[in-house]
Structure 1
């Protein structure tokens, strides 16, 4: 990943002449004192933070802004709540400071697609009159990295969306008040260049491709609560407020940048991080071409945050996951941080720098701020602001430095609580090769869903690839998982047992007799799945959660085969009823726990067991399935994959 800084070639060192920050004269300001003292919410103590949110005085919108506002995406439905914040890790936060003035952004007239609502319903938390309720409500805020829509979605985008959705769904079923944010990062030079190459406007390109990313999420049953686009006017306002706060804190100055820049990575690289290839093309650590850039730029004093970032990593060992990424980030920060160029003047497609419209903000200042815009910032009285700080940002490993170094430093400077955790997943390879248009192995997630089925595709990637590591996939591996794990193991177990109840017991779930040692053993294993699953998912170990569930599926198949209920129908009907009841209970627990991975298929399985909709969360696992229930006719949920016949 990119190393922040402006270190140029030894032969071409940049000449720096510091100037004062841009004059803010001529802008109306309304300042209110902000009380920044707050107390951390104790994890187990149930004490919530008391906070006084700084109000931002808005400048009267101009006619042009009003027109843009009409095009803005409507926000997803917001549940009533109150603001809660943890103590900002900034020295200046303990002192009185003026709130940044919100500046009406000079927003390009970008068409904004309508925001889809969440794919799955969420329970609305009870409103409360006190900020303390935020801790009691047990919120959980999770995000994907917002996708760069200079191209169409590929399987890497789908993988991150599916994984994050599984984590969000798991926590909803676990009783958390979840907010799931995703979206698109639509500014930057790459967008300008792509639009020029396609002979269309940048706003048109952004709208078209952002729409395709939303379609992908909907096709893959991704249950986001908000799909944010960085071209939305409210996001421009949010970013400018963050900029103003950082500037007022003394962390932004103007200078001249000279160094290597990757347009594709939107990243600056030091000389030693680049390599000149045999083709005479210089490339950065991600293998992307870099170009020499010299331009006037605003800089962020990243170097001033080195010690505080290291203190953050030490005091919160779980701030970065997995451990390999944590070690990478700590090593990078310890090597010395350089101030970061955070504006450009060579293009104008982006968020304008307040009071200096010749500059647009570096795309990562813009993009990262989406995480707080998405929950209402800068309006800290917004009902959704209670979700901040985010519980976890799910990202690709190639952008770990932006999220674990730059982002917390920006937040510290702006006096905003730092996110709780960043977790970086690995790359997907097709038959061991990195996806590339030139190789011809880029996979369209829509085609994959059509070929194998959405739930089957979701299950494969969540089970096959250890989350946090690189993974391989191919057609044969996907088919093997579908036919072995789903059709043979879980599907066959459910179909055989439920068909037996339908045909031999009139479709009524039988009353069990006294449990044998075998019954108690398999039930105990099923009961233990929840704790094992919670433990795995608390640290985003998605594959371990599914491994724990399928270990019980395998044991249940051995139990069913060993008890042979088809033979008991003649030799011991009472015992047969107990075996079928126990099997149905195990299948019920498996179906509840697999909902985050396979929402539709698991729902159909629960329908077959006669489980009411309001008894499908994890709290319901502690109550055994009700005997005497008349079950619907069983239907196959997991068909085997059969290779299509060649024409």
Structure 2
């Protein structure tokens, strides 16, 4: 491996008891934007995703379908990966927690923590939610009116022998770590919630189950399987070699960022770091807890949680097959703030698509290329220096690019896209409307060439900045011209640092058999 900077990022692993919906995909796209951006900026990236398979619900679902549990897990893993590939999620490894290598790493970790004195035998009695596959506190049940606050179903009282993880012993260390590493938990509201939770006191955690066939056996007591949350969190280290390739593990750990949903922050920001401290391992650098996607009911106007019982589940493939993966990626990164909550409705999807992609970006691209092909035989001959002041000041361009980079690095993707549209594309369209190159070509070809050259430069900048968000569209725009910098080598700074002047700018695309250029984004209508 090269000596370039490394960047290791993960998403939460998913329960494969049903196919992914748009809320699941939201997290994956956000992580993919980060992965693509880091690769673009010269990092060696390892991007881990996967499925959380060692659960009672998964075994139960397999039985309902008449399948062996492992066969069911493998089938669902393929279905999940089909969706992620359709969305162009550029993960490097898809971990299945039923994989023997994951089992090996989990057993090694648990034995280590046991040997270090942080796991002990006991008995647990409490209220257990089968949907969550976890015990609920008396307070949680009481505040929810006697039901699980997540699934709204009554919990079952359960008593069983178990092994405990001594989580309470790590309260001071966790609070100290939060104080010394203020960026460890993001965004700020999630950080405050976790600190409040830990300050209120931590209880030791039951980390085993007895009498279950499906799962990972506890190495020092084979009667038990490892509790699914304890096992699932360990995927972040087993996925890069812990327990089976220690050199690889040392190369990549600690993770630079864990992407998770805001509902599982207590597991990732309290239990997980305590587990790592117990094993003597470094903690991840950042945990980013994104918001949820809700469904806007078109009839009532109500904002609803995604739910099978409400019949409002939208699967990613429904959008991808009707429109495109690029349209899907754009809507959820532009319309749904990643640190907060967002909404989806078909009418809003069409509105955003037509306004931003078809009319703004797509129309600019089509107009510029059509004029170059029709009036300049596909190339703007001669040497021209880029004069950004015609559209935006050069120092403003550099500042805008750096602001976009900052937003991406902080996972504020909505703000990054807003910036690209407001400070690059909108000014370029206003410039085109002001200069009217479609009229200039009939009056002054050299003046028209000057305007078109400026607009091509705006498209080049747009393509570079959209590379992490819309990889297919960005590449199509960029490869439409003979830019000297290879697409695979392009970085954000190339927006404002590049050879000048440009000689003989050529358009490399041609119209179709009907004489028309294929649109980037055809307008849509949703009934």
Provide TM-score, normalisation by structure 2: 0.92
In 2: Cα distance, 1:233 partner to 1:515 partner: 57
1:26-175 maps to which residues of 2 (within 5 A)? 80=1, 126=2, 133=3, 137-175=4-42
Kindly indicate whether the alpha-carbon contact (under 8 Å) linking 2:401 and 2:493 is maintained by their aligned counterparts in 1: no
Q: Which residue of 2 aligns with 1:62?
A: none
Q: Which residue of 1 aligns with 2:141?
A: 274
Q: Which residue of 1 aligns with 2:449?
A: 577
In 1: Cα distance, 2:388 partner to 2:108 partner: 65
In 1: Cα distance, 2:352 partner to 2:440 partner: 32
In 1: Cα distance, 2:408 partner to 2:521 partner: 28
In 2: Cα distance, 1:478 partner to 1:522 partner: 33
| 1:265 aligned counterpart, secondary structure | coil
More helix as a share of residues: 2
Instruction: Give a deviation string over 1:391-427, Cα, whole Å, max 9, x none.
Output: 1000111111111111110001011110001001111
The alpha carbon displacement at 1:515 in A equals 6.7
Q: Which residue of 2 aligns with 1:73?
A: none
The alpha carbon displacement at 1:305 in A equals 0.3
In 2: Cα distance, 1:618 partner to 1:359 partner: 52
1:595-634 maps to which residues of 2 (within 5 A)? 595-611=467-483, 612-621=486-495, 622-623=497-498, 626-633=502-509
Flag structure 2 segments of 5+ consecutive residues without an equivalent. 297-302, 511-516
Rate the CA distance shift 1:255–1:213 in 2: closer, same or farther, 3 A: same
1:382-461 maps to which residues of 2 (within 5 A)? 382-383=247-248, 385-431=250-296, 432-461=303-332
The alpha carbon displacement at 1:510 in A equals 4.6
Q: What do you get for the CA RMSD once the two structures are aligned?
A: 2.1
Kindly indicate whether the alpha-carbon contact (under 8 Å) linking 1:511 and 1:578 is maintained by their aligned counterparts in 2: no
Provide TM-score, normalisation by structure 1: 0.75
Rate the CA distance shift 1:513–1:182 in 2: closer, same or farther, 3 A: closer
Instruction: Give a deviation string over 1:10-32, Cα, whole Å, max 9, x none.
Output: xxxxxxxxxxxxxxxxxxxxxxx
Q: Does 1:296 align with 2:161?
A: yes
In 2: Cα distance, 1:277 partner to 1:405 partner: 23
Kindly indicate whether the alpha-carbon contact (under 8 Å) linking 2:101 and 2:243 is maintained by their aligned counterparts in 1: no
In 1: Cα distance, 2:383 partner to 2:437 partner: 13
1:482 to 353, 364, 382: 353
* Greater alpha carbon shift after TM alignment, 549-558 vs 269-278: 269-278
Rate the CA distance shift 1:193–1:567 in 2: closer, same or farther, 3 A: same
Q: Which residue of 1 aligns with 2:522?
A: 640
The alpha carbon displacement at 1:157 in A equals 1.5
| 2:258 aligned counterpart, secondary structure | strand
Q: Which residue of 2 aligns with 1:507?
A: 378
The alpha carbon displacement at 1:194 in A equals 2.1
Instruction: Give a deviation string over 1:270-316, Cα, whole Å, max 9, x none.
Output: 101114878xx622356354221210010000000001001111001
Kindly indicate whether the alpha-carbon contact (under 8 Å) linking 2:388 and 2:394 is maintained by their aligned counterparts in 1: no
Q: Which residue of 1 aligns with 2:411?
A: 540
The alpha carbon displacement at 1:356 in A equals 0.9
The alpha carbon displacement at 1:640 in A equals 2.7
| 1:203 aligned counterpart, secondary structure | helix
